[in-house]
Amino acid sequence: MFEQATTEWNLEQLYLDLSNAKEQVFPHKKTGLTSTEKLHIQGLLCGNSPTEIANLLVIKPQGLNVALSNTIYRYVEELTGHSLNSLENWREIVNWLEIAGYKTQSSTDWGEAPDITSFYGRTQELAQLQQWIAHDRSRLIALLGMGGIGKTALAVKLVEQIKDEFEIVMWRSLRDTPPLEALFKQLLQYFPNYRNSQINANMAQLLRVLRTYRCLIILDEVEVLLKEYPVGYYCDSYKGYSEFLRRVGTERHQSCVVVISREKPREFTLFESENYPVHSLLLGGLQEESSRGILKDQQLDEGKHWEKLVKLYWGNPLALKTVAAIIRDLFEGSVTQFLKQNTTLFISNEFFEILDQQFTRLSELEAATVCKLATYTHPISISELTEIVSQVKPQTDTIQIIDSLRRRSLLEKVKSSHEALFILHPIIVQYVIRFC
């Protein structure tokens, strides 16, 4: 009975310390915890109320309450530095012991997270995210980038590396747009104080949990909550999420929420800054060296033209994976043959679907700007960009259009020594040329 406590709590140490506390409070009693006392504490640690424990042990609840008041409650008060008879609610026992560090197991609920078996590169990005989350204790992080760029895969690797720093880790995809209350309920069930409570899960309770415990919550596919236009704003029915993220970002607590999205939610535009614990990371393509791993996995031939392939697909892992599968199947793995045949850039159905999803969200003016931009093959400066937008529609707020395309992860910034230059991904150019 109450087996769960043995895996989640360091019972050996707890029994030892409680028996010392017992000696302090009741020096005349026999030393060491009795087996009944151990059973009672385990019952509480599993989140059971005294009445529930009494029912399970088939004893009278009143009798158990008296027993607990004369034993465990007083030992725990002594052990955790609370004054004698200060305990007001049995739930505090679990809280106090958890804060005192007797809980051993951090719990990871992977939800809909995919199992990533092969993963290459991204060491810099992982280091940056670790720095923000583990070192700087950031409260709110966004992982942004166009479809297929590897946001979810990177987040899985990140969680694998840092999960032990948190008491509770919970991954949820918002693909099916769960009501915010359902999400709160799922998280609160990990905490004994709330698990058995009848009160509805609400934001205040959850924020209390985020303050009391160190939790990591990953919300994937957040773009489904956002309006098509203006970028980063929430659909009316999901405004609660916006309020939740705003409070997570601005209030004091010890937890972290990671938001994964193709489009940048507005909280990040509003709050992120170097010295504030809210940050966003915009993912670019994989570097050539790392992309080679993907091509190798697909058993493509000698690496002669791999560099070209990676450049064509801008290091987008999904684009590379799907094109490599085609090369293996139709061209017997020969990249050379594929490049010879393929006069226009091949876009797989899987990748085409992603581009379609992203493009249907653009405003008319944004779409027209992208079509115009697709005719430029070199990186362009901000002044050229502004000029292009005003050619599409004179007297329009050009910066807003450019910013919007950036926030949709469609406009890539390329490094230059003295000014920012921008370019459309070649795959996007190809999509635009063919289908717009």
The one of Mg ion, ligand ATP, none whose footprint includes residue 21, by CB under 5 to 8 A per kind, is none
Q: How far is the CB of 333 from ligand ATP (least distance, A)?
A: 18
Interaction of residue 354 with ligand ATP, rule CB under 6 A:
yes
Strands 411-414 and 421-424: antiparallel
DSSP 320-357: HHHHHHHHHHHSTT-HHHHHHH-SS----HHHHHHHHH
Interaction of residue 286 with ligand ATP, rule CB under 6 A:
yes
CB contact burial 267-305 (16+ within 10 A = b; e otherwise): bbeebbeeeebbbbbbbbbbeeebbbebbeebebbeeeb
Instruction: Tell me the site size for ligand ATP, rule CB under 6 A.
Output: 21
DSSP 8-class letter at 200 = P
Nearer to Mg ion, 271 or 359 (CB): 359
Q: How far is the CB of 429 from Mg ion (least distance, A)?
A: 23
Q: How far is the CB of 321 from Mg ion (least distance, A)?
A: 14
Beta bridge partners of 413: 422
Nearer to ligand ATP, 113 or 388 (CB): 113
Interaction of residue 119 with ligand ATP, rule CB under 6 A:
yes
> What is the rounded radius of gyration, in angstroms, for the C-alpha atoms of the chain?
28
Please choose, out of 115-123, 165-173, 189-197, 412-420, the segment that lies near ligand ATP by the rule CB under 6 A: 115-123
Query: Where in 126-165 is the site for Mg ion (CB under 5 A)?
Result: 152
Nearer to Mg ion, 152 or 280 (CB): 152
Please choose, out of 145-153, 273-281, 303-311, 373-381, the segment that lies near ligand ATP by the rule CB under 6 A: 145-153
The one of ligand ATP, Mg ion, none whose footprint includes residue 133, by CB under 5 to 8 A per kind, is none
Interaction of residue 225 with ligand ATP, rule CB under 6 A:
no
Whether the CB-CB separation of 263 and 409 falls below 8 Å is answered with: yes
Please choose, out of 24-32, 41-49, 144-152, 271-279, the segment that lies near ligand ATP by the rule CB under 6 A: 144-152
CB contact burial 393-403 (16+ within 10 A = b; e otherwise): eeeeebeebbb
Binding residue for ligand ATP, selected from 74, 172, 262, 407, defined by CB under 6 A: 262
| Main-chain phi, psi angles of 276, to 5 degrees | -120, 145
Interaction of residue 11 with ligand ATP, rule CB under 6 A:
no
DSSP 8-class letter at 417 = S
| Main-chain phi, psi angles of 55, to 5 degrees | -65, -40
Query: Where in 236-295 is the site for Mg ion (CB under 5 A)?
Result: none
| Helix axis angle, 398-407 to 382-392, nearest 10° | 110
Beta bridge partners of 259: 142, 219
Residue 379 is inside which H or E element, if any? none
User: How far is the first Cα of the chain from the last one, in angstroms, to the nearest whole number?
Assistant: 65
Nearer to Mg ion, 37 or 263 (CB): 263
Interaction of residue 426 with ligand ATP, rule CB under 6 A:
no
Nearer to ligand ATP, 150 or 265 (CB): 150
75/270 Cα distance (integer angstroms):
48
Please choose, out of 149-157, 234-242, 250-258, 367-375, the segment that lies near ligand ATP by the rule CB under 6 A: 149-157
Query: What mask of x and - would describe binding to ligand ATP in positions 292 to 331, judged by CB under 6 A?
Result: --x----------------------xx--x----------
Query: Where in 383-422 is the site for ligand ATP (CB under 6 A)?
Result: none
Interaction of residue 122 with ligand ATP, rule CB under 6 A:
yes
Our measurement of the distance from residue 59's CA atom to the centroid of its chain's CA atoms, rounded to an integer in Å, reads 45
436/432 Cα distance (integer angstroms):
5
Binding residue for ligand ATP, selected from 43, 47, 50, 145, defined by CB under 6 A: 145
What are the tokens at 12?
A: 């050996």
Interaction of residue 265 with ligand ATP, rule CB under 6 A:
no
11/30 Cα distance (integer angstroms):
20
What are the tokens at 153?
A: 């895969």
213/210 Cα distance (integer angstroms):
5
Please identify which residue in the block is written with the tokens 């916006």: 242
| Main-chain phi, psi angles of 133, to 5 degrees | -80, -55
Nearer to Mg ion, 268 or 306 (CB): 268
Binding residue for ligand ATP, selected from 120, 234, 268, 351, defined by CB under 6 A: 120
Interaction of residue 152 with ligand ATP, rule CB under 6 A:
yes
Long-range contacts of 81-89 (CB under 8 A, 24+ apart): 84/25
Q: Which residue is nearest to ligand ATP (CB)?
A: 150
> Which residues here bind Mg ion, judged by CB under 5 A?
152
Residues at the site binding ligand ATP, with contacts judged by CB under 6 A: 116, 118-122, 145, 147-153, 262, 286, 294, 317-318, 321, 354
